[in-house]
Amino acid sequence: MKLVPARNPPNPWESHHVEYFGEAPSIDVVVYEDHSKGILAENDSPDVGFRWSLNPYRGCGHACAYCYARPSHEYLGFGAGTDFDRRIVVKPKAPELLRQAFDKKSWVGELVMFSGNTDCYQPLEASYRLTRGCLEVCAEYGNPVYVITKAALVERDVDVLQSLQKEARVGVTLSIPFWNADHARAIEPYVPTPRRRMQAVRKLSAAGIDVNVNVAPVIPGLNDRQIPSILEAAADAGAKTAAMVMLRLPGPVKQVFEERLRAALPLSVEKVLARTRETRGGKLNDPRFGSRMTGEGVYADAIKKLFETTAERLGLKIGNGASGAPSSLRARDDDEPTTFRRPLAKGPQLELFRLALFK
């Protein structure tokens, strides 16, 4: 990643804010370690559909201007702008903490969503391998998993996903909101190209993994017309399910997104902002459950209709919620049988079990 000038919106949790006179200093990636005692986050959002999520990283090197997770970085005393992109927090004991969570008597094998906040396959995962380690733990225990990512790096772990699938439910969502490579590079600069991500869809599908393609976010006035091209490529690559999420710009994300648009796509900015307000009741964001993922109004309805008719034409099932997961991969009902099993052996015997599983 090249050096970029530091730039962050004011942090509401901090009593000071830095403004630079002249050019801001360039910053490189800085990694911090998080030694939290837990790794599973619990949520009750009706828009997500999963109770438990796992995030080995905070902040994200993909640097997507629209990322709804940016405000969460402010709780750490960082900014939601370039700090989010460059000051990355890793949880080095994530696999160990997940194993401890699974060993608790209270854990009953509910589905775990990887990447409820930031991408579990962001660039640092190539060297830290925390996501892979956590998937291996899930495979040991037969715990169902759903992965959301926009990184082709997920291909690396196809062997673990296949091993896990022998024991439990598994699914992967690839987020591909653009088909125009120039738009993608402007708004999500450090993500693999749309076509490269579609290659990952093809590889995972060929390996027998259930794959969903999520057009997320749909940015009104910019990528909504690209929906048919994305879905056509997804169906050709073997995806069985597709979903969409309307752009949402909570808190400081509005400023980051608008500044990126003005710098990278100046001829589109006014149209995009106007169309976004049209789908959000005159505002740039609507935080209400039930509408924050879909938008409202005539233009939002037209986008939804375009998506649904295209998916129907291509034979793609429509996923639900922010993850886009099909109903077969939603949270387990209380009366459903579970695949979750704690390994009977410990120590050397458990190691033999692991070797047999992943040979």
- 77 phi/psi in degrees, rounded to 5: 90, 10
Cα–Cα distances in Å, from 149 out to 8, 240, 324, 354?
A: 25, 17, 12, 26
- Angle, vertex CA 147, rays to CA 140 and CA 63, nearest 5: 130
Cα–Cα distances in Å, from 195 out to 109, 174, 192?
A: 35, 12, 8
Predicted local confidence at residue 80, as pLDDT: 93
* Local confidence band at 301 (pLDDT 50, 70, 90 cut-offs): very high
Predicted local confidence at residue 286, as pLDDT: 82
Please choose, from the candidates 143, 133, 43, 31, the residue with its C-alpha nearest in 3D space to the C-alpha of residue 89: 31
* Local confidence band at 17 (pLDDT 50, 70, 90 cut-offs): very low
Consecutive H or E run containing 31: strand 30-33
Classify 20 as helix, strand or coil: coil
CA 322/CA 151 separation, integer angstroms: 17
165-213: per-residue pLDDT in tens? Answer: 998 999 999 999 999 999 999 999 999 999 999 999 999 999 999 999 9
63-99: per-residue pLDDT in tens? Answer: 999 999 999 999 999 999 999 999 999 999 999 999 9
Classify 244 as helix, strand or coil: strand
Which residue reads 């940016």 in tokens?
A: 70
* Domains of the chain in sequence order: 29-327 (3.80.30.30)
Consecutive H or E run containing 314: helix 298-314
Query: Which positions ≥6 away from 326 have C-beta within 8 Å?
Result: 171, 210, 212, 240, 241, 317, 319, 320
Q: Which residue has the higher pLDDT, 287 or 170?
A: 170
209-230: per-residue pLDDT in tens? Answer: 999 999 999 999 999 999 999 9
Q: Can you tell me the mean pLDDT for 223-240?
A: 98
Residue 82 · residue 19 · CB < 8 Å: no
Q: Can you tell me the mean pLDDT for 224-242?
A: 97
* Local confidence band at 28 (pLDDT 50, 70, 90 cut-offs): confident
Q: In percent, how much of the chain has pLDDT > 70?
A: 83
Cα–Cα distances in Å, from 175 out to 4, 178, 191, 236?
A: 25, 9, 10, 16
The pTM of the whole model exceeds 0.75: yes
Residue 54 · residue 114 · CB < 8 Å: yes
